[in-house]
Chains A and B, each alone.
Chain A
Amino acid sequence: MNISKLMLIGVAVVGVASVSVAYAKSPRSEKQIAAENKALMDAVAKGDALWHDGRLGTNGLACGNCHPDGSATNPHTWPKYQTNLGKVGTMRDMINWCVAVPLQGKPLAFDSDEMIALEAYATYTHRGITIAPGKDEQHGAVPVKSGPGYP
């Protein structure tokens, strides 16, 4: 048996082994699920604060100036070709465009806690809407009666 065959068998074994354990999420207890949901809501709340307090920009403006309750961000339509970006981009590209251009701030790292929190907030305010990448549509956020709009 040559080395390449051995490698193939090795890959196959690893593959079989990983299938047996490769759940996206392993079965979790109620407690774990509650903790995970809380982690998401903490990110949403952090995003809400960043969305409104003006610290991302240098001219006083915040995301919330134009996007109350995350409105008009259309998270269900990304990725799509966005004229302002001049390419097919993701929502994070557009968030950074807004930070850099209307807010005159410094773009965020895509994997930063801040970026993830902003995306979590905007997406959560549109929960339940059908995913439609590229759709040329402005969809309202989930109606809110009072309070923050999330648990």
Chain B
Amino acid sequence: MEKVSRRQFLGMSTKVGAATLFTGVFAPSASSFFGLGGVAHAGTKKIQEFNFAVLTDAHLYNIADHKFDHILEKAVADVNGLAKKPDFVLYGGDLGQSGKKEELAKGKAILDKLTVPYKIIPGEHDYYLDMGAEWRGMFGPEHWSFDHKGVHFIGMNSILIKDFWSARKLTPTERMGLLEELECHQCGAWGVGEEQLEWLKKDVKNLSPDTPVVIMTHSPLWDYYPRWNFQTLDAPEIRAILKKFEKVIAIHGHVHQVVYNQIGNIHSAGLLSTSWPWPYPPVTLPHPEIKMNRVDPGNFEDGLGTHQVSLNKDFAGMMDYRAFADLLPENVKRGLKL
């Protein structure tokens, strides 16, 4: 009881930090304010109601019987056991930790136990040992789109960094090692790059503005905390390309935490990992502040979980954070409207 009340208190009162140096805070419009958000714009095309599940950031190590293996297995079992069966699963990147073939193969074997199809994008931990070669061999293209029951789904590789390794003659292992640190001192900011921007332009060119769109990237499509690559360098260009749509739901991994933002027509939500939680960075969270509680370091499942996103016929989205421990303050427990 004591723990619950303390957490409820913290959920309402804790401030991570006062600095607002790097955060991009955009005032939401009255109709999109949390609590009212999720109301579809009048023009959005009607869709067939359905739901999908989301998993991300397993960070599997090439170590037998590792605790993160069991957590990913638990997450897959959780999704397979959902009362309302999802149509498919989206996976948000960082399946492995060090980009090793063994890690990705182990992850694939676990994800293949999902009883519904899944679509996956890469994270930096999957990528920088061999620049994505093994990952592509196992999972296919790094960006994709598909249509499902009236919704256009897009997945993109948002972790492409300008070459910082060749001039310094880093080995692939050294390059990967640097990127394994969230606060890599030498890596720089990442994004989707010119090629994918061109692809995205073409991909959405013939879609009408009333088309409901869901986009998944590993990193957020807004400047949250660039120090930790809680950003995508060309997010402004992506947002400009998607601006014509009435409403876009953006889902991202990498942050290992509950976080929400809205910029114009884009409703953005961060995901829980199945490895470890990240603390909130020292910036003011966007308004309305949506966050998880502090995590108990003694409970290895605290801060972790799965997600189910339900879309109704008006493209009103509801993200259920399915936390493995007592993590969510009351407002998030009820689900996050997207």
A residues lining the B interface (CB < 8 Å): 52, 59-61, 64-69, 71-72, 83-84, 97-98, 101-102, 136-149
Known: A67-B279, A84-B298, A140-B281. 7 other contacts (CB 8 A): A64-B182, A66-B279, A137-B14, A140-B282, A143-B227, A146-B185, A146-B227
CB within 8 Å for A145 and B294 given contacts A59-B63, A66-B277: no
CB neighbours (8 Å) of A146 from chain B are 185, 227
Complex Cα–Cα for A64 and B183 (A): 9
Could you tell me the distance in whole angstroms from the C-beta of A140 to the nearest C-beta in chain B? 3
Q: In the complex the two chains form, is B181's CB within 8 Å of A64's CB?
A: yes
B280 within 8 A of A: yes
Residue from B17, B21, B182, B300 within 8 A of A68 (CB atoms): B182
Question: Which of B61, B277, B282 has most A Cβ within 10 Å?
Answer: B282
Q: Distance in Å from the Cβ of A95 to the closest Cβ of chain B?
A: 12
User: A65-B276, A71-B279, A101-B298 known; A143 and B183 CB under 8 Å?
Assistant: no
Number of B interface residues in the complex (CB < 8 A) = 35
Nearest-neighbor residue (CB-CB) of B13 within chain A: A137
Q: Are A139 and B183 in contact (CB under 8 A)?
A: no
Binding site for A on B (CB under 8 A): 6, 10, 14, 16-17, 19, 21-22, 61, 63, 66-67, 97, 180-183, 185, 226-228, 275-283, 294, 296-298, 300
Residues of chain B within 8 A (CB-CB) of A144 are: 183, 227
The distance in angstroms between the C-alpha atoms of A60 and B98, with both chains bound, is 10
Shortest distance from the beta carbon of B232 to any chain A beta carbon, whole Å: 17
Q: Known contacts A59-B61, A64-B183, A143-B227: does B281 contact A71 (CB below 8 Å)?
A: yes
Q: Is the CB of A60 within 8 A of B19?
A: no
Please name 11 pairs of A and B residues whose Cβ atoms are closer than 8 Å in the assembled complex, sorted by A.
Answer: A60-B61, A61-B276, A68-B182, A69-B227, A83-B296, A141-B282, A143-B17, A143-B22, A143-B283, A146-B185, A147-B185
| Residues of B contacting A: mostly | loop
The complex places the Cα of A143 from the Cα of B283 at a distance, in Å, of: 8
Distance in angstroms between the alpha carbons of A67 and B228 in the assembled complex = 12
Task: Check B298–A143 contact: CB distance below 8 A.
Answer: no
Q: How far is the CB of A82 from chain B (nearest CB, A)?
A: 9
Determine the residue in chain B with the shortest Cβ distance to A51. Answer: B181
A50 to B288, CA, bound (A): 37
A137 to B228 Cα, complex, angstroms: 22
Q: Point out the residues of chain B lying under 8 angstroms from A141, CB to CB.
A: 282
Contact across chains for A148 and B185 when beta carbons are under 8 A apart: yes
Contact B282 A52 (CB under 8 A): no
Q: B6 to A139, Cβ gap below 8 A?
A: no
Q: Are B66 and A143 in contact (CB under 8 A)?
A: no
What residue of chain B has the Cβ atom nearest to residue A142's Cβ? B282
How far, in angstroms, from A71 to B276 measured CA to CA in the complex?
A: 14
B279 touches A59 (CB 8 A): no
CB distance from A19 to the nearest CB of B (A): 43
Residues on A with beta carbons closer than 8 Å to the beta carbon of B14: 137-138
- The distance in angstroms between the C-alpha atoms of A71 and B256, with both chains bound, is 14
